[in-house]
């Protein structure tokens, strides 16, 4: 069986995003039309209606479609508004603002929230046409994510209010459209109220779609696929919901077939004939049997296509394609998790959704890029902390082989949050990657009392109703405590308190346990001396907040005890906000095993040593310590070899045996030169070295891929380093780098992983620039539509320039 590691993983991601031929124009239904392009944007004002286009002053609800003298009016002139495409997060475009308010700190010191009325409300408008020929069809607008509290209108008609910043919303536009004439969609986004205690961004930061379908149709969220596998036979059950929104009853036929990933039909259900009354609904269950299924796994994440087809006579009314991985999950309270009968220890990471330079508005490719980085470290599971993820993240996890713990935003059973939970489950339950639901996180006010228990029971009942084939956990920051939510939760989740897991398991041996948040070592990439002024912590596994633990503290326990299902470290990537243990000038966290760009810190190699079978031998720190000659330097070695011998300039400083799930240390008097190690792993010799480098001489750029699609959406990540005259990477280079571009691609963000950098993530007066931070920075490019070669040049004062080209391929 082929394993996804190293070069093969990168090639797979490249293939998934390779340019594909353009299909012939099809107008059969359903149609899913991307609606990301050609929006207009302007700030409003949360406190001053005169600066908010008369919102809250104009009487908008006296009559249907009444909207004059506001930006809601279809006749409103938005020619002076900014033109942009979504996804769009306006927070990275704003400056950092120092504030004593804890929520502003937690959100990364951006001027978003109730204290900043002038930059916390944004208006979006989109003009579009719908053909007269389509007037008999239904049209739905679908927003995948708006942060937050969105009011939405079409042609002046109010559609509704959507509170959640993480789950999407859909509205039927059919009754309000002007067929053959201009239509205007308006969205007012109000980000004055936070939802989390971390960076959340602001705006329409996920995709928008216009869905076109028949009155008789299959709602996508009403297709549920699940499978039972017994003795190399899969019984695949497809539950399909149908709706009739027409003025006449309809006689229809429904069947479902299974295809391989290339579309070849493998098996088909029986045809079901049924009648749907006006406004009628129905649910049909069909079964497909498959011999010797290719099971979805972490190493071979194979996805079939389940195609549900609705017909009236010989005419196809609707078809819904569901990418589906056949697999089994079993959880044993003594032995842990089994995927397809194979034991899997959860080696997971928690992650928020933002990335350097972009905030929360990530191109789809970035989801695959980030999951690829995590898999290379040995990570096999992802917790969506602490909210519904973007759909493209789950598609990346399905495609690349990453288990997902899918989390509800709040432990709350009100109509609002029950609706969110139901939407989350129905949206995500067909993803092979999703192995468990989480009903909430660290609800300290209620998690140990009867209120929390009753809320949990209500949520669990809904989960069992909508998805009886998975189970749920709750992320409790509690030690050996059973009262409240833990009394009823099927899987006990531990946020930290690793010291109490054994006692809890002893007292409740029938309840499986998993580490929902573990670790939380805080580190700054490339820093080795604590600096409370700049806001840096050493880049080793030595510092953790009082509530948390270091990597070795929890993993040595989890690895050795089979009843521990494993756990999710906090976090895979640094993220904006929560600048623990410091405040200003820190503007993002130190928790990641990688920084916010995805550059590894030293702790990355600890986990890679014990989470993979790769040959790992990593030395730290760097060896540029001018002025400290003769002074002792603590050298760490992370490896999964059995023995390591350390040398400085050829002189041995002794051989040591590597304790399992640990690391080795030496104290070495600094002298310039070469620090090297020789290790043996199962008889195989491994070598590694770090050298004292010269000054930075040349910039080097490396692109994550050489070709992208000219679709206006695809993206590429370019990492920049500085090398000396001998070609060695300079680990303490901090030069300012300016970027210039010739071609169709555009720059959409820059970063460097410095948690205290206040440099702009976006261009300043048309100039894109970023300082290296300990030798590295990053630039992210997005495709245009013209195709051809784009040249990117990086230049720094006193440094030899670097240039690369990216090929953009037009479809067709």
The pLDDT value recorded for residue 81 is: 98
Q: Which of 442, 552, 578, 808 is catalytic?
A: 442
Give the pLDDT mean for 634-662: 98
Give the pLDDT mean for 49-55: 96
- What are the φ/ψ torsions at residue 391 (nearest 5 degrees)? -55, -35
Q: What percent of the chain has pLDDT over 70?
A: 97
C-alpha 658/C-alpha 666 separation (Å) is 12
Give the pLDDT mean for 785-802: 96
Cβ contacts of residue 428 below 8 Å, gap of 6+? 388, 394, 406, 434
The pLDDT value recorded for residue 27 is: 55
- C-alpha separations of 791 from 17, 713, 759, 762, 768 in Å: 20, 18, 24, 19, 15
- What are the φ/ψ torsions at residue 327 (nearest 5 degrees)? -165, 165
Task: Using the predicted structure, report yes or no on whether residue 9 has a pLDDT greater than 70.
Answer: no
Task: Using the predicted structure, report yes or no on whether residue 785 has a pLDDT greater than 80.
Answer: yes
Give the pLDDT mean for 291-315: 97
CA-based nearest residue to 324, from 350, 300, 304: 304
Task: Using the predicted structure, report yes or no on whether residue 23 has a pLDDT greater than 60.
Answer: no
Query: pLDDT-based confidence at 198, cuts 50/70/90?
Result: very high
Query: pLDDT-based confidence at 288, cuts 50/70/90?
Result: very high
The pLDDT value recorded for residue 508 is: 98
C-alpha 280/C-alpha 223 separation (Å) is 17
Task: Using the predicted structure, report yes or no on whether residue 578 has a pLDDT greater than 60.
Answer: yes
Q: Please, what sign has the CA dihedral across residues 67, 73, 76, 79?
A: positive
What stretches of 698-785 adopt beta strand conformation (E)? 698-703, 707-709, 715-723, 736-742, 746-751, 768-771, 776-782
Rg over CA atoms, the chain: 27
Mean pLDDT of the chain: 95
First to last CA, the chain: 35
pLDDT in tens, 433-486: 999 999 999 999 999 999 999 999 999 999 999 999 999 999 999 999 999 999
Q: Is 150 left (phi over 0), alpha (psi -120 to 50) or beta?
A: beta
Q: Which of 517, 552, 578, 808 is catalytic?
A: 517
The pLDDT value recorded for residue 792 is: 97
C-alpha 529/C-alpha 549 separation (Å) is 20
Counting Cβ atoms within 10 Å, is residue 104 exposed (0-12), middle (13-18) or buried (19+)? Answer: buried
Neighbours of 57 (CB within 10 A): 12
The pLDDT value recorded for residue 15 is: 58
Strands 233-244 and 281-291: antiparallel
pLDDT in tens, 210-238: 999 999 999 999 999 999 999 999 999 99
To the query of whether residue 68 is one of the catalytic residues in this protein, the response is: no
- The CA-based dihedral angle spanning residues 448, 351, 538, 758, taken in that order and rounded to the nearest 10 degrees: -110
CA-based nearest residue to 567, from 382, 793, 376: 382
HEC letters along 668-710: EECCCCEEEEEEEECCEEEEEEEECCCCCCEEEEEECCCEEEC
With beta carbons less than 8 A apart as the criterion, state whether 242 and 282 touch: yes
CA-based nearest residue to 558, from 503, 621, 483, 501: 501
pTM: predicted TM-score of the whole model, two decimal places: 0.95
With beta carbons less than 8 A apart as the criterion, state whether 319 and 309 touch: yes
Task: Using the predicted structure, report yes or no on whether residue 58 has a pLDDT greater than 70.
Answer: yes
pLDDT in tens, 498-555: 999 999 999 999 999 999 999 999 999 999 999 999 999 999 999 999 999 999 999 9
DSSP output for 276-313: E-TT-EEEEEEEEEEES-----SS----EEEEEEEEET
pLDDT in tens, 234-268: 999 999 999 999 999 999 999 999 999 999 999 99
- Cα angle value 45/49/52 (rounded, 5°): 45
Three-state DSSP class for 346? strand
The pLDDT value recorded for residue 145 is: 98
Helix (H) or strand (E) holding 400: helix 391-400
C-alpha 18/C-alpha 595 separation (Å) is 27
Three-state DSSP class for 176? helix
pLDDT in tens, 131-183: 999 999 999 999 999 999 999 999 999 999 999 999 999 999 999 999 999 99
The pLDDT value recorded for residue 765 is: 80
| Low-confidence winner among 338-342, 728-732, 766-770 (lowest mean pLDDT) | 766-770
To the query of whether residue 517 is one of the catalytic residues in this protein, the response is: yes
The pLDDT value recorded for residue 16 is: 61
């Amino acid at each position: 069986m082929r394993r996804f590691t190293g070069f093969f993983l990168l090639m797979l991601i490249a293939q998934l995003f390779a340019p594909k031929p353009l299909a012939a124009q099809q107008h059969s239904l359903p149609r899913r039309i991307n609606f990301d392009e050609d929006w207009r944007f302007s700030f409003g004002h949360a406190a001053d209606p005169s600066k908010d286009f008369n919102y809250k002053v104009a009487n908008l609800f006296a009559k249907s479609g009444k909207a004059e003298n506001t930006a809601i009016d279809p006749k409103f002139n938005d020619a002076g508004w900014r033109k942009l495409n979504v996804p769009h997060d306006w927070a990275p475009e704003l400056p950092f603002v120092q504030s004593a308010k804890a929520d502003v700190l937690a959100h990364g010191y951006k001027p978003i929230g109730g204290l900043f009325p002038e930059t916390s409300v944004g208006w979006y408008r989109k003009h579009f046409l719908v053909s007269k020929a389509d007037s008999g069809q239904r049209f739905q607008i679908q927003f995948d994510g708006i942060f937050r509290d969105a009011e939405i209108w079409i042609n002046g008609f109010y559609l509704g209010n959507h509170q959640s910043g993480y789950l999407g919303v859909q509205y039927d536009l059919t009754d309000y459209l002007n067929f053959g004439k201009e239509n205007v969609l308006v969205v007012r986004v109000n980000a004055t109220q936070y939802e989390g205690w971390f960076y959340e961004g602001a705006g329409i930061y996920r995709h928008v779609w216009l869905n076109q379908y028949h009155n008789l149709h299959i709602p996508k969220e009403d297709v549920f696929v699940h499978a039972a596998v017994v003795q190399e036979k899969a019984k695949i059950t497809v539950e399909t919901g149908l709706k009739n929104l027409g003025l006449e009853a309809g006689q229809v036929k429904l069947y479902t077939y299974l295809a391989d990933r290339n579309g070849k039909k493998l098996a088909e259900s029986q045809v079901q004939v049924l009648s749907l009354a006006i406004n009628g609904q129905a649910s049909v269950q069909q079964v497909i049997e498959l011999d010797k299924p290719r099971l979805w796994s972490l190493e071979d994440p194979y996805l079939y296509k389940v195609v549900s087809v609705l017909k009236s006579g010989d005419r196809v009314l609707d078809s819904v394609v569901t990418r589906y991985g056949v697999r089994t999950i079993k959880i044993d309270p003594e032995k842990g998790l089994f995927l397809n009968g194979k034991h899997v220890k959860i080696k997971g990471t928690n992650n928020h959704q933002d990335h350097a330079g972009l905030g929360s508005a990530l191109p789809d490719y970035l989801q695959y890029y980030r999951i690829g980085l995590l898999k290379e470290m040995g990570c096999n599971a992802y917790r969506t902390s602490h909210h519904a993820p973007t759909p493209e993240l789950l598609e990346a996890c399905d495609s690349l082989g990453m288990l997902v713990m899918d989390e509800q935003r709040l432990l709350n059973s009100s109509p609002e949050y029950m609706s969110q939970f139901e939407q989350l489950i129905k949206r995500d339950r067909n993803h092979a990657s999703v192995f468990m639901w989480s009903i909430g996180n660290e609800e300290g006010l209620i998690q140990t009392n009867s209120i929390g228990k009753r809320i949990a029971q209500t949520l669990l009942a809904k989960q069992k109703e909508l998805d009886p084939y998975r189970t749920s956990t709750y992320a409790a920051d509690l030690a050996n405590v059973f009262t409240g939510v833990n009394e009823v939760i099927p899987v006990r989740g531990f946020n930290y308190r690793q010291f109490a897991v054994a006692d809890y398991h002893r007292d409740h041996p029938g309840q499986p346990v998993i580490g929902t948040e573990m670790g939380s070592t805080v580190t700054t990439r490339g820093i080795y001396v604590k600096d409370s002024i700049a806001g840096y912590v050493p880049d080793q596994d030595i510092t953790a907040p009082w509530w948390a633990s270091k990597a070795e503290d929890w993993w040595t326990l989890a690895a050795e005890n089979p009843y521990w299902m494993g756990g999710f470290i906090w976090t895979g990537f640094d993220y904006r906000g929560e600048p623990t243990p410091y405040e200003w000038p820190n503007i993002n966290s130190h928790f990641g095993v990688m920084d916010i760009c995805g550059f590894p810190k030293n702790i990355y190699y600890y986990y890679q040593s014990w989470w993979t079978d790769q040959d790992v031998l990593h030395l730290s720190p760097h060896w540029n310590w001018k002025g400290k000659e003769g002074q002792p330097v603590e050298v760490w070695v992370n490896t999964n070899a059995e023995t390591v011998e350390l040398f400085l300039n050829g002189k041995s400083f002794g051989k040591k045996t590597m304790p399992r799930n640990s690391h080795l240390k030496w104290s070495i008097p600094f002298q310039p030169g070469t620090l090297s190690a020789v290790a043996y792993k199962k008889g195989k010799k491994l070598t590694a070295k770090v050298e004292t480098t010269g000054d930075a001489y040349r910039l080097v750029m490396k692109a994550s891929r050489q070709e992208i699609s000219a679709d206006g959406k695809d993206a590429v990540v370019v990492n920049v380093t500085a090398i000396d005259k001998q070609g060695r990477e300079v680990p303490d280079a901090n030069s300012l780098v300016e970027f210039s571009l010739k071609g169709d691609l555009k720059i959409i963000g820059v970063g460097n992983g410095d948690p205290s950098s206040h440099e702009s993530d976006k261009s300043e007066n048309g100039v894109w620039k970023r300082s290296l931070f300990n030798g590295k920075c990053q630039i992210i490019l997005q495709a245009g539509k013209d195709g051809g070669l784009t040249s990117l040049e990086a230049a720094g004062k006193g440094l030899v320039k670097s240039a690369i080209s990216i090929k953009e391929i037009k479809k067709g």
